[in-house]
Chains A and B, each alone.
Chain A
Amino acid sequence: MSTNENKDQFRQPDHEHDHFLLTTVVGSYPKPKWLNRAKDLYEDEDSDFDEDNWQEAKDDAARLITDEHERAGLDVVVDGEMRRNEMVEFFAHRIEGYEFNGPVKVWGHNYFDKPSVVSEVEYDESWLVDEYEFTADASDRPVKVPITGPYTLANWSFNEAYEDDDELTLELADLVNEEIEKLVDAGARYIQIDEPALATTPDDHAIVGEALEHIVADIPDDVRIGLHVCYGDYSRIYPEILEFPVDEFDLELANGDYDQLDVFKDPAFSKDLALGVCDAHVAEVESVERIEENIKKGLEVVPPEQLVISPDCGVKLLPRDVAYGKMANMVQAARNVEADLDAGEIDIERGAPTPADD
């Protein structure tokens, strides 16, 4: 069995199998109901629930969800993004150059506060170092830090200040790089760049690749960098994305029942594959057996040492008990497949296309 040093640094000392299928989450997790109530109180001018109380509530929630991830058995945990409201807004509030003008429609009556870039973007206060340090302190497990990528930050904003979105993307990439340097100084070893906008405007993979070069500049090689992409036509970005300077691609595939799996078989997948094995938008816990089958789909693309196990996407829209059920079953399924691999009971041909009548 070959090894994968970058991935194996996250293996627990007491890991029970020779094989190691790293289990983790994409990032977001359902917020406890009381956290939403605390937020309402904090925003209510008539309430005496102050900044300190609100900070304490977020700390409690972060500790709670980190612990919940540990209990589910995940190898690498996140705080469930308890301190973040939305994946663009959170960062836009912390970057100089952004302003907010009110909600805009996404679909139906779903809105978001799409920010405007009105002047040169600049790095001000740290975005995530406090969040990382708190989570790392609250857990014995390794911690992953998800960061919204510069392409999505640029695309899901109004650009008033830059000649074009590509220029804005690269400027933001330099800020992301600065933040990652600070996170690495604070001890972070696993960073995930979230670029959901890539799959929706896939002709832009070149600018995303260029932005990633900016992001990883001077970041030590042994720091694990992942890229999360979801809900799009992957054939329009593969194999080009293999050139990106990242260690891992985290892909949503369970939602489409692996109908896009063949895309990644030719040419061979040369990075680590963090395979989505649970649907993030179906409020039903997949069985351990079902997830085992999904994990084996990943083995059609990469060998076990390149495989990482995670849900399709952030699970924040699920009921919390369902989210927990999915995580726990996912870990159990990964451990079962590891045992079968150790026993030599899994024989999957890699790279063979799925028969058309499958």
Chain B
Amino acid sequence: MTEYVSTTPGLYPLPDWAKDDLSDLKGHQKHDLVSGDEGEEITAAYEEAREEVIGVQQDAGLDRIVEGQLRWDDMLAHPLAVADAVETRGIVRYYDNNNFYREPVVTDDLEPTGDIASELEATVERVGSDDLQAVLPGPYSLYDLATDEYYGDDGDFLAAIAAFLEAEVDAFPAHETLFLLEPSLVENPPADGEDARASEAIDRVANATDADVVVQPYWGALEEKVYAHLLDADIDAVGFDFVANQDDNLYNIQEYGTTDDVALGLADGQNTLVEDPEAIRDRTEWVEGQLGVTEFETVYLTTNTETFYLPYGKYVAKLEVLAEAADLAEVKAA
């Protein structure tokens, strides 16, 4: 019987009080953003905000709890932005959004920081390993967001990013699930040859953990070849952004099959319109019906994208809807 797991890809909006407090404590300019060695007051504000978003997830009844990635000023580029071998330079556009991050330029040999492991350590104290979900940029997306001034070769650079993420994951506390967010696989798809390397890089990071690994591309569907290569990686689930594109995602699944578990991005992480839980449940059934295959072992129900795009109240409402939709789906399946 299929297990329905409500979760999110993390990267939450800060609670409004934390937006104000941290603006005052940190400032508004480029050099004011998180560097990995924040002082006591800033750390305390983030800890309080983290507690709050953990509570929001628990109150909503989500099956997996994320840390919230509230410190990730540079969004998916964060793991590099706090690394020693990286210079953060100008502000550049974050995909096609009205959002910006500091361009991370790799100027030396990448070494893991333990920055994300320590966020997860703080979370696991409150959550427990069985519910904990870690979140990272997938290696291809991190490679795509970064600039290389050290490795000199695209293949070497991608491999170095994969090794860097692998070492970060090594330091994580035990966790149930790892989400690797891979929007660049859609937005800037790898070319011939590079698609196989991207898959190998994902494989490497996925093998660093015993947890279930979900690779979530978004803002559309993967190109056929990219999708086929992704299935070669040793991962437990592929995520599908059904908000942005239904037809091509269905086509990929029907044409190439998919993993035993899947993640369905059915709630819109970038729109304030709050879906009905019943509608999410119905869309889940619709996807399953379209495939007409043997049932999935696990279906993760999630927003398609990160949720920092939303006002805080709407983000909370989206989480509640996902939790309720998963409950409804379980009932129906039973």
Residues on A lying within 8 angstroms of B by beta carbon are 101-111, 114, 116, 155-156, 158-160, 197, 200-201
Would you call B16 and A104 a contact (CB within 8 A)?
no
CB distance from B3 to the nearest CB of A (A): 32
Interface members, chain B 102-141 (any A CB < 8 Å): none
Contact of B96 among A106, A116, A201 (CB under 8 A): A201
A102 to B30, CA, bound (A): 23
Using A101-B313, A106-B99, A159-B271 as known contacts, list a sample of 7 further A-B pairs with CB atoms less than 8 Å apart, ordered by residue number in A: A101-B314, A103-B16, A104-B310, A105-B309, A108-B26, A109-B26, A160-B271
Would you call A108 and B33 a contact (CB within 8 A)?
yes
Would you call A109 and B272 a contact (CB within 8 A)?
no
The 15 listed contacts between A and B (C-beta, < 8 Å) are A101-B311, A102-B312, A103-B16, A103-B19, A104-B309, A105-B13, A105-B19, A106-B100, A107-B100, A109-B27, A109-B28, A111-B23, A114-B311, A156-B98, A200-B93
With CB as the reference atom, state the residue of chain A lying closest to B94: A107
- A102-B311 contact in complex given A116-B272, A156-B98, A160-B273, C-beta closer than 8 Å: yes
Interface of A is mostly: mixed
CB distance from B97 to the nearest CB of A (A): 9
CB distance from A27 to the nearest CB of B (A): 19
Would you call B311 and A104 a contact (CB within 8 A)?
yes
Contacts of B14 in A (CB 8 A): 105
CB distance from B49 to the nearest CB of A (A): 13
CB distance from B16 to the nearest CB of A (A): 6
9 smallest A-B Cβ distances: which pairs? A102-B311, A107-B100, A160-B273, A101-B311, A109-B23, A158-B272, A116-B272, A108-B33, A158-B271
Would you call A107 and B91 a contact (CB within 8 A)?
yes
Contact of A108 among B73, B270, B310 (CB under 8 A): B73
* Residue picked from A102, A109, A197, most chain B C-beta under 10 Å: A109
B294 CB–A CB distance under 8 Å: no
Would you call B99 and A160 a contact (CB within 8 A)?
no
A101 to B33, CA, bound (A): 25
Interface members, chain B 29-58 (any A CB < 8 Å): 29-30, 32-33
Contacts of A160 in B (CB 8 A): 271-273
* Residue picked from A101, A103, A104, A110, most chain B C-beta under 10 Å: A104
CB distance from A181 to the nearest CB of B (A): 30
With CB as the reference atom, state the residue of chain B lying closest to A231: B93
With CB as the reference atom, state the residue of chain B lying closest to A105: B308
Contact of A200 among B22, B32, B98 (CB under 8 A): B98
CB distance from A234 to the nearest CB of B (A): 15
Interface members, chain B 64-115 (any A CB < 8 Å): 73, 91, 93-94, 96, 98-101
A307 to B99, CA, bound (A): 33
Give the interface size bracket for B toward A. Answer: 20 to 34
Would you call B28 and A110 a contact (CB within 8 A)?
yes
Would you call A101 and B272 a contact (CB within 8 A)?
yes
Contacts of A156 in B (CB 8 A): 98
With CB as the reference atom, state the residue of chain A lying closest to B317: A101
CB distance from B111 to the nearest CB of A (A): 25
A21 to B314, CA, bound (A): 50
CB distance from A213 to the nearest CB of B (A): 25
Contacts of B29 in A (CB 8 A): 108
CB distance from B24 to the nearest CB of A (A): 9
A110 to B33, CA, bound (A): 11
A107 to B73, CA, bound (A): 7
CB distance from B186 to the nearest CB of A (A): 16
- A107-B101 contact in complex given A101-B311, A160-B271, C-beta closer than 8 Å: yes
Contacts of B101 in A (CB 8 A): 107
Contacts of B94 in A (CB 8 A): 107
Would you call B98 and A108 a contact (CB within 8 A)?
no
Contact of A109 among B13, B19, B273 (CB under 8 A): B19
A242 to B308, CA, bound (A): 37
A106 to B271, CA, bound (A): 15
Contacts of A201 in B (CB 8 A): 96
CB distance from A87 to the nearest CB of B (A): 12
A200 to B310, CA, bound (A): 20
Contacts of A103 in B (CB 8 A): 16, 19, 311
A200 to B97, CA, bound (A): 9
Contacts of B19 in A (CB 8 A): 103, 105, 109, 111
B 149-162 to A, binary, CB cutoff 8 A, 1 in contact else 0: 00000000000000
CB distance from B66 to the nearest CB of A (A): 17
Contacts of A110 in B (CB 8 A): 28
Contacts of B100 in A (CB 8 A): 106-107
Contacts of B314 in A (CB 8 A): 101-102
With CB as the reference atom, state the residue of chain B lying closest to A159: B271
A197 to B97, CA, bound (A): 10
A105 to B96, CA, bound (A): 15
B 306-332 to A, binary, CB cutoff 8 A, 1 in contact else 0: 001111111000000000000000000
- A102-B313 contact in complex given A108-B28, A109-B27, A159-B271, C-beta closer than 8 Å: yes
CB distance from B25 to the nearest CB of A (A): 9
A102 to B91, CA, bound (A): 24
CB distance from B39 to the nearest CB of A (A): 16
With CB as the reference atom, state the residue of chain A lying closest to B96: A201
With CB as the reference atom, state the residue of chain A lying closest to B21: A109
CB distance from A233 to the nearest CB of B (A): 11
A226 to B26, CA, bound (A): 39
A197 to B100, CA, bound (A): 14
Would you call A102 and B16 a contact (CB within 8 A)?
yes
A101 to B315, CA, bound (A): 11
Contacts of B30 in A (CB 8 A): 108
With CB as the reference atom, state the residue of chain B lying closest to A115: B272
